[in-house]
Chain A
Amino acid sequence: MAGTAVLGRLTWQVGEVTGTRTETPRTRSLIVDLPHWPGHRAGQHVDIRLTAEDGYQAVRSYSIASPPEDSQVEVTVERLDDGEVSPYLVDEAQPGDQLEFRGPVGGYFVWDVSRGGPLFLVAGGSGIVPLMSMIRHRQARHSDIPLTLLYSVRAPQDVIYRAELDRLAPDGVTIAYTFTREQPEDWTGFARRIDRDLLREAAPPLNTRPLVYVCGPTPFVETAAGLLVELGYDAGRIYTERFGATGRER
């Protein structure tokens, strides 16, 4: 994407929750109707503002999980127990509720089919969310761009979008999980944090020059991106988005 597109300024707009979906014990997706949404690109996010009865406001940024092709916007939120916004969004928000949104935000960590591939997506925990928008965009466009997803989570029950990922047509899609703390019975796959050997095994071959998107907690992203560069992957084709150890809420 050339240059810094002139967009006009962002403003807050009201969106109505039209549906919710519990993804894991700690995460929930909110489907939102935003009549004035200008559209987004896969990988972007949106700010959500809550206002308390006394006027206190809190703003946090959440990745968009839905593809640009959807008419409604979906965000997936992980509950942080000491968070100001996420417990409400995960446990309280109901269809019919109105929330304030500002976005879309971000122009660096984005992908669309015109960028090509092959695509190597590396997710740590809820870092899967913006990558899911890319996966859904690829599906919506019936793209055959080869896709490899490496998804690191602590335990099987922490996998977000599990059913949908399992349904992806195997043609051109490779998914590898690594369960860092607790593994399913009879698990023969990866069972440790990302390291050099794991990446070497899971990543597409060097000579395919994959486009790499890494999203997760800051240490995860720095480790993965650093190792990929050491393994010889083109640093100019590695895109990263990191959020603090405190998680998605920011």
Chain B
Amino acid sequence: MNDHSLDGNAMAGLLGEIFPFEMTSVRALCAGCGAMEALGRESVYADAPGMVMRCLHCEAILIRAVEGGGRIWIDMRGVACLQVHGE
């Protein structure tokens, strides 16, 4: 485990601008290894200009996001599926 990694809480505010859910509880299916994990538990690297969320289990990139100038760019190709619970 890289010491610079944060947990998924670090990206939850940004994701919360896009999705109307409490995003740390939403689970993601990693397109790399197939692991299903709550976003709040994944690893986040915020050292770069943007943020990178990596799979807790295989370290594949799940989500890359950059915000600035009132815009957000988000690349979610590493997420095969999101699981959102209803009420």
Contacts and interface: CB of A to CB of B under 8 A. Distances in A.
B62 to A, nearest CB: 17
A3 B12 contact: no
B5 A4 contact: no
Contacts of A250: 6, 10, 44, 46
Interface in A28-62: 45-47, 55, 57, 59, 61
Most buried by B among A2, A10, A11, A217: A10
Contacts of A245: 3-4
A229 B68 CA distance: 42
B13 A107 contact: no
Given A5-B22, A7-B20, A218-B5, A108 B38 contact: yes
B9 A9 contact: no
A122 to B, nearest CB: 16
Contacts of B87: 3, 5-6
Contacts, number: 99
A241 interface: yes
A109 interface: yes
Contacts of B76: none
A242 B6 contact: yes
Interface residues of B, number: 33
B34 interface: no
A10 to B, nearest CB: 4
Contacts of B26: 4
Contact of A106 (B3, B14, B24, B84): B24
Nearest to A57: B68
Most buried by A among B4, B7, B9: B9
B49 to A, nearest CB: 10
Interface of A: 1-11, 45-47, 55, 57, 59, 61, 102-103, 105-109, 217-219, 222, 240-246, 250
23 contacts: A4-B86, A5-B21, A7-B16, A9-B17, A9-B19, A11-B17, A57-B68, A61-B10, A61-B13, A102-B17, A103-B13, A105-B16, A105-B24, A106-B9, A107-B25, A107-B40, A108-B24, A108-B38, A109-B40, A240-B7, A243-B10, A245-B3, A250-B44
Q: Identify the 7 closest CB pairs spanning chains A and B, nearest first.
A: A3-B85, A10-B16, A245-B3, A47-B13, A107-B22, A4-B85, A108-B40
Interface of B: 1, 3-7, 9-10, 12-14, 16-22, 24-26, 38, 40-41, 44, 46, 67-69, 84-87
Given A218-B5, A246-B4, A250-B6, 5 more contacts: A4-B21, A4-B85, A9-B16, A107-B25, A250-B10
